[in-house]
Chain A
Amino acid sequence: MHTKSIKELSTLLQSKQISATELAKLFLARIGQSDLNAFIHVDETLTLQQADEADASLAFSGAGMLTGIPIAHKDIFVTRDWRSTAGSKMLANYVSPFDATVVTKFRDAGMVTLGKLNCDEFAMGSSNENSFFGPVKNPWDKAAIPGGSSGGSAAAIAARLAPAATATDTGGSIRQPASLCGVTGIKPTYGRVSRFGMIAYASSLDQGGPIAKTAEDCALLLNAMAGFDPRDSTSLRRSDEDFTRDLTQPLSGLRIGVPKEYFGAGLASDVELAVRAALTEYEKLGARLVDISLPNTSLSIPVYYVIAPAEASSNLSRFDGVRYGHRAKDYGDLQDMYRKSRAEGFGEEVQRRILIGTYVLSHGYYDAYYLQAQRIRRLIAQDFQQAFGQCDVIMGPVSPTVAWDIGDKADDPVANYLGDIFTLSTNLAGLPGMSVPCGFGQGEKNASRPVGLQLTGNYFEEARLLNIAHQFQLATDWHLRAPNNI
């Protein structure tokens, strides 16, 4: 039951072969037995209350496609009923007075919340080792990181602890953990999914999106998740869309752009092997590979690590121990209270990014750093527009390597940053992107660690991306693989 897709579970629920309560209990039991540390807060009573409501809906004809389907939320989305911590000591005991728009939308669709998922603190990280609540383990190899910042989300799906999870992606935090855990995820075009109630990291880059086992499931989830929200000033007003509408389109004639910068010296040979095999599979499906160039790819790292910390330093200035969150026990005056509360509440990586951000926005440095980064950002966005003149979709690796061991890069911020090279540009340009499982690494350690294929589309082309991913999943079975003991 726990390996079934959302689509399959929906059929079983609608035909009364299983109840929402039975399904919730099943996943809660699996979560209870798991040692992956994927969840921060689970409350069975709350979940079963929601399951009960879903069963009532299913008994009458009020049920929709997602009614009764269990879902877990990345702890970056605030919820009234579970704690909302952002993976941080700063909010370790925070109970939100409101639900994030995304959470409300899924509740309105009748989904049943399983709990809040572990993540890198304030969504800052690529390994889920920056959580105050401890690292998440990769279900494929518990010595390995699951990726980040949505490590809990990806691990939960891979370990079949939930059929659906929400996640967020600011520099790759949906795509990279999905890739390292062998599951499917999509980051929509900037502005598609409301950021209201999504604890802010970098406001011009953050986007929420689903992680699930299949592209089809992601499309179903995106249908519920996306849409205009007047409470998010960057939410885009567009006509309603059904993201499943193009899933069955054949791929003959599809032009796949392959950027030369994504296949250089830094790419591990086993990752390259798996990605190129996937591209060959696409050729069999009727697609044509086109060599393209995204010349400013390597600059995306300094650009992102200026813009994101700058925005973070502003967003995290609200955490001052006054209205919510951690307040130091001992302090002198007000300034001292701020300084101590923040120093105690924030972990090292978060503090580092706040300091970088403060510096690049400060007098004398703003032009050379922040404005320069925003100008190169435009060049990066223009690179993509150039490329989309020659192709319909861009494909390549998500991560230069498969998952590394927990602790390997923990003391080296820059080593972590460099691994983001293939995903950052997509956020800087605001484009939609996906990761789809396409194989595994090679060698004794890496052979059990998944590889993801990255798909990047032009603005608002989620339906097309999901189609391209879905057709691959009809022809291959990487997305059906689960870790040994699952």
Chain B
Amino acid sequence: MSLTLSDVTHISDLALLELSDDQARKTLGQLNGIFELVNQMSTVDTTGIEPLSHPIAVCMPDLSLRLREDAVLEPNLRDTYQKSAPATQDGLYLVPKVIE
């Protein structure tokens, strides 16, 4: 099953990546090449096999996501963190107007 140009446009919309028509066409060819590779997976019968999302679950089956106390551990470092921001004001990040 190969992708179409409208698939590429749709995906780039979802991924919030602007693609020109030329780029979309070039990307289409490359993505189809990659999906030819990926489609090899469809030949494998995986009935009854559970997905493995954490590799160590193979040797530590009871592994679960570690939780911690809901307590404040870090000081407020907003000013430090905002030093790298493109645009800020009064501790807020500035972006184009969203709400009309």
Q: Which residues of A contact B (CB under 8 A)?
A: 94-97, 189-191, 204-205, 230, 233-234, 236, 298-299, 301-303, 305-306, 313, 317, 320-325, 327, 331-340, 342-343, 346, 351-352, 354-356, 358-360, 362, 368-369, 371-379, 381-382, 385, 413-414, 417, 427-431, 459
Contacts and interface: CB of A to CB of B under 8 A. Distances in A.
Contacts of A352: 27, 30-31, 34
Nearest to B1: A368
B31 A356 contact: yes
Interface of B: 3, 7-8, 11-12, 14-19, 27, 30-31, 33-34, 36-42, 44, 46, 49-56, 58-59, 65-66, 68, 77, 80-87, 93, 95-98
* Most chain A CB neighbours (cut-off 10 Å) among B12, B19, B52: B52
A342 B57 CA distance: 35
A451 B82 CA distance: 46
A338 B16 contact: yes
A226 to B, nearest CB: 14
Nearest to B86: A327
B39 A302 contact: yes
A303 B38 CA distance: 7
B95 A413 contact: no
In the A-B complex, the 10 residue pairs with the closest CB atoms: A430-B55, A374-B51, A378-B52, A339-B18, A375-B46, A343-B18, A327-B86, A375-B49, A358-B15, A338-B16
* Most chain A CB neighbours (cut-off 10 Å) among B19, B68, B84, B87: B84
* Most chain B CB neighbours (cut-off 10 Å) among A205, A337, A372: A372
A374 B51 CA distance: 4
B95 to A, nearest CB: 5
Contacts, number: 171
A323 B85 CA distance: 5
A481 B98 CA distance: 60
A431 B55 CA distance: 8
A337 B11 contact: no
A331 B83 CA distance: 23
B41 A306 contact: yes
A40 B34 CA distance: 31
B77 to A, nearest CB: 7
Contacts of A359: 3, 7, 11, 31
A55 to B, nearest CB: 30
6 contacts: A321-B86, A342-B15, A342-B18, A381-B52, A429-B58, A431-B55
B28 to A, nearest CB: 10
A219 to B, nearest CB: 22
B56 A459 contact: yes
Contacts of B66: 233
B16 A305 contact: no
Given A97-B83, A305-B37, A340-B18, A299 B44 contact: yes
A30 B39 CA distance: 48
A375 B86 contact: no
B62 to A, nearest CB: 13
B12 A322 contact: no
B30 A94 contact: no
A302 B41 contact: yes
B69 to A, nearest CB: 11
A234 B63 CA distance: 10
Contact of A429 (B27, B30, B55, B93): B55
